[in-house]
Each structure stands twice: as structure tokens, then as C-alpha cells.
Structure 1
Amino acid sequence: MSLTRDDMLRELELLPAWQLRQPVTKSAPHEVIEMPKLSAIAEPEVKAIPAQFEELPAAEQIEAVSIPEAVETSLPALDVTLGQGRREAIMQLEWQGVQDCVANCQACDLAKTRTQTVFGVGDPNADWLIVGEAPGSEEDRKGEPFVGQAGKLLDNMLAAIKLKRGQNVFIANVLKCRPPENRNPHADEVAMCDPFLKRQVELIKPKLIIALGKFAAQSLLGSEDTISSMRGKLHDFHGVPVVVTYHPAYLLRSLPEKAKAWEDLCFANKTMAGLTTSAKQP
């Protein structure tokens, strides 16, 4: 039986209940997945670092940043706050409904300090989904992810594997609001934003996710592993392969690590080629 407008609003005003993310397979969501058809990509050939990686902003220009779920809704401006049915309500929304819910969300204290929410940007049918940590000051002001110096580097990284922002690529963050002073996100903030990202993944249906930085990787995969131990492997987020690499803001401060980031992009590119080939096979 479908929910009426009153039913949904009544559900959304109940006390909060945080339910742990349930993996879609028997393995834990942070476990490395085995993909037999993609065995050929286990040892990616890494070429020389492309010129784009050399086009980094001058150190004095770098802004200080922290590193650290389908039915159509009749509530286009639904204010999804707290409630036992909050996750269930979000998971029924279509694309515009999710955007409206993010824009009006008051579920955590970040709503009091943000300038605006940052839903994400790009192709809603993209094969590539790029996930970062949280908006910074520029993102909070413009309402778009990765628009500062780290964003310029991300665009260069995408160009190095022949990708472009907005073309078969969608860019989002774990959090949709900026934490004050770019502090690390709190667990309750991540819990409130989790259904939004999960629904974005379900609607976009990407073939591959690239997690940028330790926080995004740990949040997506439910893991406390270090980024160095997660690199070079395929992980799983609700059935979608995940490749982990460094956050562009970290690379701006640790330029020698760009070679490792290039290895990760080569691995991701070869993984995507394998996924595309497998999809075409009968």
C-alpha cells in the first residue's frame, strides 16, 4: 500500500533511528570483492605521469581544507528531518525529490551553519561516480563540489584518463553540508546523509565509484583501514565496485604522492574497460 502525504509526514516526525547500512551480499561492505571476469586488470600497466598532474596550483594559492534509495514522490519540497521512516521515505524518491530533500534537510546541526547544501554535479546517468568527503568553503558558497584548487586538480586528474566533469561523470560528497571550519564530519552527520548518497547511487547506477581520500573511503566501505591498505584493490559499495585513491587536497600538500594517485587512476580506467567489456558479452 502506497504512502499518502500525511502518512509520510507522520513517519518523518518520529524519533530518529539510525539503522546500520545492510550490505547487498553476504560479505561485509568493506570487504574486497572478487570479480573473476576482471582478473585481467589486477596488474594495471602504469604509464608515465601525464602532464595534467604537473599543472598544480601554486602552493601559496592553496586554500586550507581538512583532509582527514522507486516511486515518484508527490512532495517535491519534502523537508526530510528526523523520523523512524526517514530512510525509507528517502529511498522512494526520484532524482528531483532527492535534490529537494537535500536542499531542505534539517536533520543535523550542519543545517544551522551552512550557506547552502551541495547535492552534487554532473551526469545523472554517469558510469563514473566520484565521491569526496564534504564541501569546503567555496563549495558551500557556490553549491557545487570541488570548485576550489582541489577541484582544479580533480579536473586535471579526470582529464588524464580522458574524462570531463559533467560528461559521463557525477561528482558528490559523503556529506551534503560543510562542517564548520572544515572540521572532520561527525558520526551522526554521516548517518543523516547516508541515505542521500545511497539513493544517488541507486538512481545513477554507476559502473564504478572512485572514493577520494580516507574519510570518503572509510565511510563508503564501513572500514577503518588506512588508505594505503585500501589502494590497488576492488572494494564494494552495495554491489558497485569501488577504487580508492588520495583526495586532491592531500595531493596539493603532498605532491610526491601524485604518482600513486596516477597508478590508482590507471587501475580505475582498466577496471572500467573490463566492466564495459563484460557488460557487452552475452
Structure 2
Amino acid sequence: MSLMTREDVLRELELLPVWQLKAPLPSVQAIPITVEPAPADAIESTPLLSTVIEQVPLEGVHEEPAVKSTVVTAPFRLLISADASMGFVLDCTSSNAQDIETLLSNMLKAININCSIDIAEASAETLGEHAIKLLLVMGEAAAHSLLGQLQGMEDWRSAQAASPIYYQHLPVVITYHPAFLLKNTAYKAQAWVDLCAAKRILQGL
């Protein structure tokens, strides 16, 4: 099997020569999250795991009221990097077609990540079993499964540009699913920005 250089991978992702990082992203520090128990009636109505997440704005960013929501996690696909520092969350019900897997592999190669663990149906408990430092969530369905909030990708990306998103103590970066990128290649450059953001946040932890 021939080895692909990073430039080959970026060209395969159609990110050369048009994309170029113009400015470094601001460093992000982990901010503690207040976890509150879910009301008893909420637990009775939903048999799945419930927890609380909070978005906390960075200093220097226009402050919005903290957003809290009760989260009910559904199973999701989880890939974990070889050093266990980075987890990739995808919709576990999505097709594992060869084209999707190839693009996913190329996206990981582009940021020099090799995944050694692939769990088809993971849960919140699974995340706690590994020393993951950052989660990259791919697609609206995966974001909904993990964070319990259903909204469009542009809304997710706008939210994370304004202030960091956390799942429990883990910083989260949300980007497009490979299946979406195969049908909408113009968004590959935006996905590349998200991948770079995730890598920079990880390096700052």
C-alpha cells in the first residue's frame, strides 16, 4: 500500500491550494462545569442516562446567559486515537460505505491522527473508561446523541465560535459528517478549519 504525504491527503480532501489558516486560534483553558442532578420526574420519564452541560463564554467574548440542558445520550460510534487523547463521535446508525470510511480516514490523516479503537455502539460510560481529552463530534445526529440538543450544523459551529462547548469536563468541537461532505464538497474547507481547531485545542490542554 502506497504511503500518502500530508499534502497528498489535503489534495484528496480538495483543500489545496484554496485553504490556508490565516490566524492561530486563541488558546482554550478547560473550565469546570457545574453538574446538577436531573429532577426525579425527568428520570422516570427517560430510562437513558441524564446529565447536565453548560456553555461558558471565554473572557473578552460578549457574555450570553449560561445555557444548561438536560442531556439524554443515545448510542454513538466512537473512534479513539492511538494515544487515547482524542475521541471521534459519529452517528452509529450511519452507513459505513467505503467512500465514507475512506474520507474519514483521510480527514484523520490530515491532522496526523491514527485511531486504534473503533466502538460501534458507545455510551457516556464508554467515554469515562478512556483518558480522552477532547471530543470531535461529526454531524448533527452525533451532536444530538451526545449533547441532547437538536440544531443545525451552522448553529453548532456558530455556538462553538462564540464560546467553548463542553461535555462534562471534555472540550467538544463539532463538524460535518463525512457522508455530508461527500455530497457537499464545498464544505470540506470548513471541516478542515474545525479539524485544525480541535488539534490546536488539544495541544493547549
Distance in 2 (alpha carbons) for counterparts of 1:211 and 1:120: 9
Higher share in strand: 2
Instruction: Determine what percentage of the aligned residue pairs are the same residue.
Output: 30
The answer as to 2:139 corresponding to 1:222 is no
Distance 1:226 1:17, change over 3 A: closer
Per-residue CA distance 1:46-92 (angstroms, 9 max, x = gap)? xxxxxxxxxxxxxxxxxxxxxxxxxxxxxxxxxxxxxxxxxxxxxxx
Distance in 1 (alpha carbons) for counterparts of 2:77 and 2:156: 26
Per-residue CA distance 1:88-111 (angstroms, 9 max, x = gap)? xxxxxxxxxxxxxxxxxxxxxxxx
Distance in 1 (alpha carbons) for counterparts of 2:148 and 2:188: 26
SS of residue in 1 equivalent to 2:197: helix
Distance in 2 (alpha carbons) for counterparts of 1:253 and 1:137: 14
SS of residue in 2 equivalent to 1:210: strand
Cα deviation for residue 247 of structure 1 reads: 0.1
Distance in 2 (alpha carbons) for counterparts of 1:257 and 1:264: 11
AA of the residue aligned to 2:145: S
Query: Rg larger in 1 or in 2?
Result: 1
Per-residue CA distance 1:175-232 (angstroms, 9 max, x = gap)? x3xxxxxxxxxxxxxxxxxxx5111110013100011100101221121222112126
Task: Give the TM-score of the pair, scaled to structure 2.
Answer: 0.60
Distance in 2 (alpha carbons) for counterparts of 1:230 and 1:269: 18
Distance in 1 (alpha carbons) for counterparts of 2:77 and 2:148: 22
Cα deviation for residue 135 of structure 1 reads: 4.1
Cα deviation for residue 235 of structure 1 reads: 1.2
AA of the residue aligned to 2:181: L
Residues 88 and 135 of structure 2 are in contact (CA less than 8 Å); yes or no, is this contact kept in structure 1? Answer: yes
2:125 maps to which of 193, 199, 203: 199
Distance in 1 (alpha carbons) for counterparts of 2:58 and 2:119: 26
Structure 1 gap segments, 5+ residues each: 1-15, 24-28, 40-117, 139-146, 177-195, 276-282
The answer as to 2:164 corresponding to 1:164 is no
Distance in 2 (alpha carbons) for counterparts of 1:160 and 1:120: 19
AA of the residue aligned to 2:98: G
Residues 211 and 243 of structure 1 are in contact (CA less than 8 Å); yes or no, is this contact kept in structure 2? Answer: yes
Structure 2 gap segments, 5+ residues each: 1-44, 61-75
Number of aligned residue pairs: give it.
144
Superposed counterparts of 1:1-282, under 5 Å: 18-19=47-48, 21-23=50-52, 29=53, 31-34=54-57, 122=80, 126-136=84-94, 138=96, 148-166=98-116, 170-172=117-119, 176=121, 196-231=122-157, 233=160, 234-275=164-205
**RMSD after superposition:** 3.0
Cα deviation for residue 130 of structure 1 reads: 0.4
Cα deviation for residue 148 of structure 1 reads: 2.3
SS of residue in 2 equivalent to 1:131: strand
Residues 79 and 88 of structure 2 are in contact (CA less than 8 Å); yes or no, is this contact kept in structure 1? Answer: no
Cα deviation for residue 151 of structure 1 reads: 1.2
Distance in 2 (alpha carbons) for counterparts of 1:160 and 1:123: 14
Distance 1:203 1:160, change over 3 A: same
Distance 1:227 1:136, change over 3 A: closer
Distance in 2 (alpha carbons) for counterparts of 1:130 and 1:35: 24
SS of residue in 1 equivalent to 2:146: helix
Distance 1:205 1:268, change over 3 A: same
